[in-house]
């Protein structure tokens, strides 16, 4: 088989594979894209399709009624981060496997069965990711191959804009260019794309599901890193998923993106980095934020507010504290630059030499 192309392996779960997996989809559109995703899931292996309605854009929701007739819809009363929204859907199922699926994914026949087979054949495995391909050319999307877990160096090149200005820098190249076997099922010391990730329910419950402090970035890295402590992570290139792209982030403004990605970076560091790494990253976040706060203070107030939140998160890491919510989340109050108490406290900490 040519590595970057179809076909996929034939499914082999047989009759005993019926009703083994609950599919959880978080939808930001509740319309055509999600309907197309659901339409590809009518296979015996699927026990239940749960769609979490996270669509709060005024133009979204055209397919709510049809989705309610074809799936179990979980309505939310306010916008949730990807971690929290997935947990709401995960709470409903009972099947031994869970397929976490982005709403911009189209399942190629045999992919779900391929993931189930891989997990059955590797009893020590707790998760298996499939291969994401371009929906038209069917070539593997290189940006969604399994990649190493984030390091301090990865986050620094993002914070300082190096990744954007120099995409081929050595750190980013190593991060996206890890050698992966594209022919056979393999155990990886890396994170497969969570856009199409199957997890054993037992392992998912053992680690407590997604950590809801995360919003829309690095929540999958955190989950997979914690799952890895329970067992093996598999990459199954024969399980192919067409990835359309643009499911959520295409509608975001710049301030939303600033808040979300830096929220993920700083909270991932707080959860998994050493003290020294957290301090270095916090100092970098402060250094990156300060000039932007001054530069955008009048011309782009929303961006300036987002960078103040990033600065507060960086300060928290430097001082050994939990970062505030830079992006919103059900378990964390959102940092608002209008919160004079917090903003003044951060400025006081800066003026006092980081609390020394």
Question: pLDDT tens-digit profile of 82-139?
Answer: 999 999 999 998 999 999 999 999 999 999 999 999 999 999 999 999 999 999 999 9
Judge if 22 and 82 occupy the same domain.
yes
Residues in the chain: 356
| DSSP secondary structure letters along 82-102 | HHHHHHHHHTT--SSEEEEEE
**Burial profile 206-239: b = 16 or more Cβ within 10 angstroms, e = fewer:** ebebbbbbbbbbbbbbbbbbbbbebbbbbbbbbb
Tell me whether residue 168 is in a domain. no
| DSSP secondary structure letters along 188-239 | -SSB--TTEEEEEHHHHHHTTSS-TT--SSSHHHHHHHHHHTTSEEEEEEEE
Domain endpoint, select from 196, 225, 249: 249
Judge if 206 and 328 occupy the same domain.
no
Confidence category of residue 13, pLDDT binned at 50, 70, 90: low
Strands (E) in 109-195, as ranges, are 125-133, 186-187
Q: Specify the pLDDT at position 110.
A: 96
Judge if 212 and 81 occupy the same domain.
yes
Tell me whether residue 81 is in a domain. yes
**Phi, psi (deg, nearest 5) at residue 57:** -70, 135
Tell me whether residue 159 is in a domain. no
Domain tally for the chain? 2
Above 50 in pLDDT, residue 351?
Answer: no
Judge if 237 and 345 occupy the same domain.
no
Domain enclosing residue 81, as ranges: 15-145+180-249
> What is the chain's mean pLDDT, rounded?
85
CA distance 313 to 120: 42
Confidence category of residue 8, pLDDT binned at 50, 70, 90: very low
Tell me whether residue 313 is in a domain. yes
Give the bridge partners for 231, in sequence order. none
CA atoms within 13 A on the CB side of 2: 6
Tell me whether residue 199 is in a domain. yes
Above 90 in pLDDT, residue 15?
Answer: no
Tell me whether residue 156 is in a domain. no
Q: Helix (H, G, I), strand (E, B), or coil: what is residue 129?
A: strand
Confidence category of residue 354, pLDDT binned at 50, 70, 90: very low
Tell me whether residue 105 is in a domain. yes
Q: Specify the pLDDT at position 172.
A: 74
Confidence category of residue 64, pLDDT binned at 50, 70, 90: confident
Q: Specify the pLDDT at position 331.
A: 53
48-52, 74-78, 303-307, 333-337: range with lowest mean pLDDT: 333-337
- Most confident by average pLDDT, 147-151, 214-218, 286-290: 286-290
CA distance 218 to 155: 11
Q: Helix (H, G, I), strand (E, B), or coil: what is residue 283?
A: helix
CA 245 to chain centre: 13
| Overall average pLDDT of the 31-43 stretch | 92
CA distance 120 to 115: 9
Judge if 84 and 64 occupy the same domain.
yes
Tell me whether residue 155 is in a domain. no
- Cα dist. 38→50, 54, 55, 115 in Å? 10, 16, 16, 18
Judge if 203 and 129 occupy the same domain.
yes
Q: Specify the pLDDT at position 248.
A: 56
| Overall average pLDDT of the 58-81 stretch | 87
């Amino acid at each position: 088989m040519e590595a970057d192309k179809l076909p996929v392996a034939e499914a082999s779960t047989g009759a005993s594979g019926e009703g083994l997996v609950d599919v959880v989809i978080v939808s930001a559109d509740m319309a055509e894209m999600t309907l197309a995703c659901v339409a590809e899931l009518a296979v015996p292996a699927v026990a239940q399709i749960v769609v979490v309605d996270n669509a709060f854009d005024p133009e979204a929701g055209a397919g709510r009624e049809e989705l309610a007739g074809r799936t179990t819809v979980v309505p939310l009363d306010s916008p949730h981060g990807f971690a929290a929204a997935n947990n709401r859907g995960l709470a409903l199922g009972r099947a031994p496997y869970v397929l976490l699926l982005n709403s911009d994914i189209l399942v190629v026949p045999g992919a779900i069965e391929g993931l189930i087979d891989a997990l059955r054949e590797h009893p020590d495995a707790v998760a298996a990711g499939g291969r994401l391909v371009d929906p038209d050319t069917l070539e593997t999307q290189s940006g969604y191959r399994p990649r190493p877990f984030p390091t301090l160096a990865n986050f620094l090149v993002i914070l300082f804009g190096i990744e954007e200005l120099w995409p081929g820098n050595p750190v980013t190249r190593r991060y996206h260019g890890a050698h992966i076997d594209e022919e056979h099922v393999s155990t990886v010391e890396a994170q497969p794309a969570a856009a199409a990730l199957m997890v054993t329910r037992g392992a998912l419950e053992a680690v407590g599901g997604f950590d809801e402090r995360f919003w829309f970035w690095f929540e999958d890295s955190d989950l997979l890193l914690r799952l890895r402590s329970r067992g093996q992570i598999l990459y199954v290139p024969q399980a192919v998923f067409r990835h359309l792209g643009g499911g959520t982030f295409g509608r975001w403004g710049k301030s939303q993106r600033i808040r979300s990605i830096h929220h993920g970076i700083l909270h991932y560091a707080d959860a998994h980095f050493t003290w020294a790494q957290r301090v270095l990253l916090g100092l970098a976040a402060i250094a990156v934020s300060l000039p932007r706060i001054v530069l955008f203070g009048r011309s782009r107030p929303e961006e300036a507010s987002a960078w103040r939140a990033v600065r507060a998160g960086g300060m928290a890491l430097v001082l050994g504290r939990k970062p505030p919510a830079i992006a919103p989340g059900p378990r964390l109050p959102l940092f608002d630059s209008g919160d004079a108490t917090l903003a003044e406290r951060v400025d006081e900490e800066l003026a006092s030499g980081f609390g020394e």
